[in-house]
Structure 1
Amino acid sequence: MQPYVPSYRAPFFSALAERLAEQGHELVIAAGQPTDAQAKRRDGARIPGVSERRLRTRIVKLGPARLRLVNARPAWKDADVVVAELAAGASATYGALLQCRRPVGVWGHVEAFTAPDSRLTRALRRWQTRAATHVLAYTDTGAALAKDWGVDAAHVTSLHNTVDLTALSQAIDRAKADDPSTVRARLGLSSGPVFAMIGGLDASKRIDLVVGALDVLWASRPEIQLIVGGRGELEPAFSEAVERGQVRLVGYVGNDAKAEFARVATALLNPGRVGLIAVESMAMELPIVTTSGARHGPEYEYLTPGVDSIECEPTATALAATLVALADDSEQVGQLSAAIGKRLDAFSLSHMVDQYAGALESLVDASKTRSRHSKM
């Protein structure tokens, strides 16, 4: 069960469905539609060949908390095993854990990486992990926390959450044949230093810091340019920088566009939440520039600031100074790029599929055991 299926998840679910079919199982994805800022990213996906059941979702806001109210029983009532979202505000997860007589796994961050935590929300997630038959954590940090909360290590899987980099790597190899000046012309860029930003344009990405840094750079280093691939509610915040010629907004970008970014950019700019872009940076061989104190996704633990990425103070002035320093130091950029490129093979989609399929197989075994006991 998913809140919705973003496009970056489609290759994973497609590969997982194929793997499960080889084992005689069928994958059914029950998901709603993206809401609020997620809807404005326009990245919802359908997965050919994979059974889907649409869920109606209603969002209720209680102060800073958001509850997703979903009647998911019709989606899981005939399932042999269920995997639900590990999230304090997901009503469908409580329904499955309390009502479903089949094994129920939960998957997600476990730790509150991207949102403020409280005693209540932490207690609710802890209860979900302990009530579940199996916990599928995105990363090692989440897996360790589930074990600290008392979940048997045999019932915890670290997925090493990632995305399919095959097509991106192939696009990057093709782009290497293109002259950088030709790529710059296609992207509407001049000959000055270029930084790239990829992802949803919302508050979590600290667009305010980016806009502030652009204002600082306009007064000191106007030749530094930013190319932005992504959509979101804060696109209009770049309007002045676009008029000045500092910024190129190209909308949602696929692998070919990302490969062109990699051909001409110095680094990836992501002062707010760093998530799966950490993995894409490995294929692009572009270090990420981010800020300390941001609520990064769990995938940020894949990076080592100062070795394969850069972390600066969360101010527009510090961010601008960091970009200037990188624009003027090709040797440092080369070292950072080489270091992040070496990480590419550490987070493959095939490994994540192996981990997920193995966890599902353990849930199937648990289902068979329960079935035998119920007949005794």
Structure 2
Amino acid sequence: MRIAILAPSTAPGGTGVHALALGEALCALGHEAVVHAPDPTGRGFFRDARCPVISVAAKPVCDSAAAFIGARIGDYLAHFSTPAACDFDVFHAQCSISGNALATLTRRRLIGGFVRTVHRIETFADAQLARWQDRAIVDAGQLLCVSRSWAAALTGTYGAQAEVIGTGVDGTVFHPTPGPSDAALRARLGLGRGPVFLSVGGFAARKNTLAIIEAFATLHRSVPAAQLVISGAASAPEPTGYEACCYAALEREGLQVGSGRPVICTGPVDQGDMPGLYRLVDTLVIPPGAESSGLCALEATACGSPVIVPARPPYTEYLPPGAALWLDSSDPAVIASAMQASLEPARRARLRNTGRDCIEAQTWAACATRHLPIYAALMPQPTLALPFATGAAAWNVLRMPPGA
């Protein structure tokens, strides 16, 4: 099969990581999976890929979220504007941007339909963003979800059924054996004797970074050598002033920021450095209230680092009870207590052993294999091929308003 996988961006992020890993696994199974994403920087994807990739031409947009999404939908429509560009057996949208583009292409009869993976359902105050989200779900020929909880949410919100395809982790990349560049990464970040805690996703309300900072401040008072690494950058527009609130909390607690300081903010991290970063830290912290696909928890576990995660899906679907420290409260004092507990040697050994066993079953090959019968069912049959729109019909669909 020739499969076009459409991601929201060439930058690192959970959805993009999932799209690339799925494409690589499908190619390893003998299919031709091509991962597409809008690329306003011209730098290509955030890492080298073991599958074909296409950087879709896109211009930088510094405007509202609606303007940004609308522009990216337009970028995809421009790229797939001809039958030659649409020469794939299956089209797979990984986001609302690509879902809307493929919905329009379906209406224009350039493609026969598409499959959509819904990684999450957002709540939007902007009516146009809400309409785009709805359309990218309702117009899909088949819906997929990475967890049973989001599949249930789709049924409850849209009355739609979705196949649960899960996610995976690459054990050849994410593993506990120290890599040749780990020591250089430690020196560059200024990591001391520790303990070192990690938060992934930058200063983001959806990652509940403020709760992590407040919890770390509590622990730091009793463990002055402790450090907190805040890696990455927010992947979506954040509430106004949230980052300023995080910095205000750091200043209030007397926590200095910088290489070798108690708090280290890395900004975007090269994907090749992420396995080493997971290995160098003592614990990954994801507090309740944080939005995540659970992928970074799997990656950290594969690298031998204990994880603190909310006691809810998708984490409870991916990790068995003994593979993580579970939280049911976003109270900073409770999070700080879990951070302290994660440092106990006997507990750490148990978490590593249980985590290693569960990771062996979480492979991208297994995830890709679950996609194949779904793709096969959506492949167009030659006798049912739809003619391309001509005449007045072509005029109508080609001049459809952007939000249609």
Aligned AA for 2:92?
V
Contact 1:3/1:31 (<8 A) preserved: yes
Q: Which has the higher helix share?
A: 1
1:102-181 correspondence runs (5 A): 102-109=111-118, 111-112=120-121, 115-116=122-123, 128-143=136-151, 156-169=162-175, 172-174=176-178
TM-fit CA distance, 1:342: 1.9
TM-fit CA distance, 1:277: 0.6
* RMSD of Structure 2 on Structure 1 (CA): 4.5
Contact 1:82/1:105 (<8 A) preserved: yes
Q: 1:4 aligns with which of 6, 9, 13?
A: 9
TM-score w.r.t. length of structure 2: 0.67
* Other-structure match for 1:370: 384
CA distance in 1, matches of 2:178, 2:20: 23
TM-fit CA distance, 1:350: 0.8
TM-fit CA distance, 1:284: 1.9
TM-fit CA distance, 1:50: 1.8
Contact 1:68/1:90 (<8 A) preserved: no
Matched position secondary structure for 2:115: strand
Alpha-carbon distance change, 147 to 330 in structure 1, aligned in 2, over 3 angstroms:
same
TM-fit CA distance, 1:283: 0.5
TM-fit CA distance, 1:356: 3.0
Note if 1:196 corresponds to 2:215.
Answer: no
* Other-structure match for 1:73: 77
TM-fit CA distance, 1:84: 2.7
Matched position secondary structure for 2:9: coil
1:1-376 correspondence runs (5 A): 1-7=6-12, 8=17, 9-17=19-27, 19=29, 22-23=30-31, 26-33=32-39, 44-45=46-47, 47=49, 50-52=52-54, 54-56=56-58, 61=64, 67-69=69-71, 70-71=73-74, 72-76=76-80, 77-78=82-83, 79=86, 80=88, 81-87=90-96, 91-100=100-109, 102-109=111-118, 111-112=120-121, 115-116=122-123, 128-143=136-151, 156-169=162-175, 172-174=176-178, 188-231=190-233, 237=247, 240-242=255-257, 245-250=261-266, 252=269, 254=271, 258-259=275-276, 261-262=278-279, 265-271=281-287, 272-275=290-293, 276-290=295-309, 298=314, 301-303=317-319, 308-327=324-343, 329-364=344-379, 366-371=380-385
Matched position secondary structure for 1:195: strand
CA distance in 1, matches of 2:351, 2:117: 30
Q: Percent identity?
A: 19
Q: Give deviations 1:326-360, integer Å, cap 9, x for gaps.
A: 33x33333333332222102220111222334433
Q: Give deviations 1:144-195, integer Å, cap 9, x for gaps.
A: 555675657xxx54321234332222xx2245x99x9999778644434332
Aligned AA for 1:278?
A
Runs of 5+ unmatched residues, structure 2: 1-5, 236-242, 389-404
Alpha-carbon distance change, 368 to 287 in structure 1, aligned in 2, over 3 angstroms:
farther
Matched position secondary structure for 2:355: helix
Aligned AA for 1:215?
A
Instruction: Give the total of aligned pairs.
Output: 349
Matched position secondary structure for 2:377: helix
Alpha-carbon distance change, 200 to 183 in structure 1, aligned in 2, over 3 angstroms:
closer
Matched position secondary structure for 1:242: coil
CA distance in 1, matches of 2:278, 2:126: 43
Alpha-carbon distance change, 122 to 311 in structure 1, aligned in 2, over 3 angstroms:
farther
Matched position secondary structure for 1:216: helix
